[in-house]
Structure 1
Amino acid sequence: MSLDGKVAIVTGSGRGLGLAYSQELARRGASVVVNDVDEQTAADAVASIEAAGGKAVAVVAPVGPTETARKLVAAAVESFGRLDILVTNAGVLRDTVLWKMSDDDFDTVVNVHLRGTFTCVREAVTYMREHEVAGRIVCIGSPTGQRGNFGQTNYAAAKAGIVGMVRTWALELKRAGITVNAVIPVAATAMTATVPYFAAAVEADAAGEAMPAFFRHDLGFGTSDDVAGLIAYLASDAAAGVTGQAIGIGGDRLQVWSHPEAVATAYRDGGWSYDALDADFTAEFGGQLQTVGETFPPLPDGLQR
C-alpha cells in the first residue's frame, strides 16, 4: 500500500495518537501538514517525520475557527500542491460531572472536537469537490461517544456528534467519490494514563515493553501505533469502498460498530397512551433496555496497581 503523491492534514498531531497517524501516513509516502497549538511541539513533530525521510510542514493554530481550517488547507496546497486526506484528531478534555460543568467547560470541548471537525471537513471537501479529488476523510471518535462515560458530558456529546456527521457526510459526498469514516481508538494516551485500571499497560508502553496480552487481546487496548495502520488504510485507494463507518481499533482487536437500530418494537391500535404504557411497557420492553457506559472484567492476578 502506497500513499505516494498524496497530501494529508492531521489536526492535533504534535504528540500522542495524532503524531503516530502523521508519521504512519508519511512513512507510506504522503506529505503531511502537522497541526498543534504549541510551536515547539509542532516543530518537533515535523522534525521526526523529516528525520525518517518524510515530508511535513506545520500549522500552529487552535482547531475550531474557520480561519484555522482555511490555513490548514492553504498550507497543504501551497506546500505540496494538493490535498487528498484529512484526519480530524484535535481535542481537549474538561472532565467533571454535569452539575459542576461550567459553560466554558462545555463550550471549549465542543468547539474543538465538534466544531473543529465540522470546519476542517467543510474546508477540505470544498477543495476536493472543486478539484475533483476522490479524497479521504477520517474523523476520530471515542468509545465515550458510543457508550457514554461518567464525567464527560461535553466529550460524549462531541464524539457522538462526530459519528452522526460522518454518516451524513458519507451520503452527501458519495457522488464525489470522497469517503468519510470515523475511527474509534482504544490506546494508551494522556487520558488513559490517569486511569488506575490501565496502569500496567500504560507503564509497559512507556517503558517500551510489550503490553500484557490481557489488555491487547481481551480489552482491545494498545498503543498509538496500533491505531495508525487503520488510519493509513482508510486514507488509501484500497479503502475506496469503505464509507460511513465507525470502526474501532485497539491492541489486537478490530471492530465495526453498528449504526443505531431499534432492538424491540411493539404496536398498539390507537397508539400508546400513558395508561397503555403504564400497563404494558415493562412487559414489552423491560428485558430490552440498553446498558450505558463500559464495564471491564476484573484484572488478572499480577496486573493490579
Structure 2
Amino acid sequence: MSLEGKVAIVTGSGRGLGLAYAQELARQGAAVVINDVSVEIAETAVASIEANGGNAIAVVAPVGPTETARALVKAAVDTYGRLDILVTNAGVIRDTVLWKMSDEDFDLVIDVHLRGTFTCVREAATYMRENEIPGRIICIGSPTGQRGNFGQTNYSAAKAGVVGMVRTWALELKKAGITANAVVPVAATAMTATVPYFAAAVEAEARGAVMPAFFRHDLGFGTSEDVAGVVAYLASDEASEVSGQVIGIGGDRLQVWSHPEPVATDYHDGGWTAEALATEFPRIISDNRQSVGDRFPPLPEELQR
C-alpha cells in the first residue's frame, strides 16, 4: 500500500489523534496540509513530519467557517497541485449536563464538529468532482455519537450528525468514485487522561510502556498511533470499494458498526391507538429494549487504584 503522489488535508492535526493521522499519511507517502488554531503547534507538527522525510505545510485557522475550508483546499492545490484525501478531525468539547449547558457551549461544539465537517467536505468534494479525482473523505466520529454519553449533549449530537452525513455522502459521491467513511477511535487522549478508569493505561503510555492487555484487547483502548493505520488504509486505492461505513478502532480491536435497523416490527389492524399501545407495547419492548451509553466491565484487581 502506498500514498505516494497523494495530497491530504487533516483538520485539527496539530497534536493528538489528528497529528497521528497526519504523520501516518505522510509515512505512507502523502503530502499533508496540517491544520490547527495555534501557529506554534501547527509549525511543530509540520516539523515532525519533515524530520522524517515527509512533506507538510500548515494552515492556521479555526474549522467551521467556509473561508477556512476554502483556504485548506487552496493551500493543498497551490502547494502540491491537487487534493486526494480529506480527514475531518478538528473538534472541541464543552461538557456539562443538559440543564447547565449554555447556548454558547452547544453552538461552539456543533459549529466546529458538525458545520466544520460539512464545510470542509463540501469544498473538498467539489474540487474532487470538478477535477475527476476519486478522492477519499474520512470523517472522525466517536462512541458518544453512536451510543450517547452523560454530559455530552452537544458532542453526541455533532458526532451522530457526522455519521449521518457520511452515509448520505457515500450515496451522493459514488458516481464520482469518491468514498466517504467514518472512523470511531478509542484512544488515550487529553480527555480520557482525566478519567480514573483509564488511569493505568494512560500512565503506561506516558512512560512508554505497553498498555495492559485488558485495555488493548478487552476494551479496544490504545494509543493514537493504533488508530492511524485505518485512516491510511481508507485513504488508499485499496479501499476504493469501501464507502458509507462506520469503522471502530482502538488498541488491538477493530469493529464495523451497524447502521440503525429496526429490532422489532409489529402490526395492529386499524393503526396504533394509545389504548392499543397500552395493551401491546409492554410485550413488544420487553424483549427489544435498547441500551444507551457505553458499559465498561469492572477493572481487574491489579489495575485498580
After superposition, the C-alpha distances for 1:195-237 in whole angstroms (9 at most, x for unaligned) are: 1000100111111110000000000000000000000000000
**Size of the alignment, in residue pairs?**
305
Q: 1:161-172 counterparts in 2 under 5 A?
A: 161-172=161-172
Tell me the TM-score normalized by structure 2. Answer: 1.00
After superposition, the C-alpha distances for 1:92-143 in whole angstroms (9 at most, x for unaligned) are: 0000000000000000000000000000000000000000000000000000
Secondary structure of the structure 2 residue equivalent to 1:63: coil
Secondary structure of the structure 1 residue equivalent to 2:93: coil
Separation in 2 of the partners of 1:93 and 1:228?
22
- Whether 2:101 is the aligned partner of 1:80: answer no
Secondary structure of the structure 2 residue equivalent to 1:180: strand
Separation in 2 of the partners of 1:155 and 1:47?
31
Secondary structure of the structure 2 residue equivalent to 1:175: helix
Moved segments of 4+, more than 6 Å: none
Counterpart residue identity of residue 65, structure 1? P
Tell me the TM-score normalized by structure 1. Answer: 1.00
Partner of 1:209 in structure 2?
A: 209
Counterpart residue identity of residue 127, structure 1? Y
Partner of 1:193 in structure 2?
A: 193
Secondary structure of the structure 2 residue equivalent to 1:302: helix
Which segments of 5 or more consecutive residues in structure 1 lack a partner in the other structure? none
Separation in 2 of the partners of 1:218 and 1:128?
40
- Whether 2:23 is the aligned partner of 1:27: answer no
Once the two structures are aligned, what percentage of the paired residues are identical? Answer: 78
Separation in 2 of the partners of 1:41 and 1:11?
13
Partner of 1:51 in structure 2?
A: 51
- CA apart distance, 1:40: 0.2
Partner of 1:89 in structure 2?
A: 89
- Whether 2:144 is the aligned partner of 1:144: answer yes
Bigger mean CA offset, 200-209 vs 58-67: 200-209
Bigger mean CA offset, 32-41 vs 282-291: 282-291
- CA apart distance, 1:285: 2.0
Which segments of 5 or more consecutive residues in structure 2 lack a partner in the other structure? none
Root mean square deviation of aligned Cα: 0.4
Secondary structure of the structure 1 residue equivalent to 2:58: strand
Secondary structure of the structure 1 residue equivalent to 2:302: coil
- CA apart distance, 1:301: 1.3
Partner of 1:71 in structure 2?
A: 71
Partner of 2:112 in structure 1?
A: 112
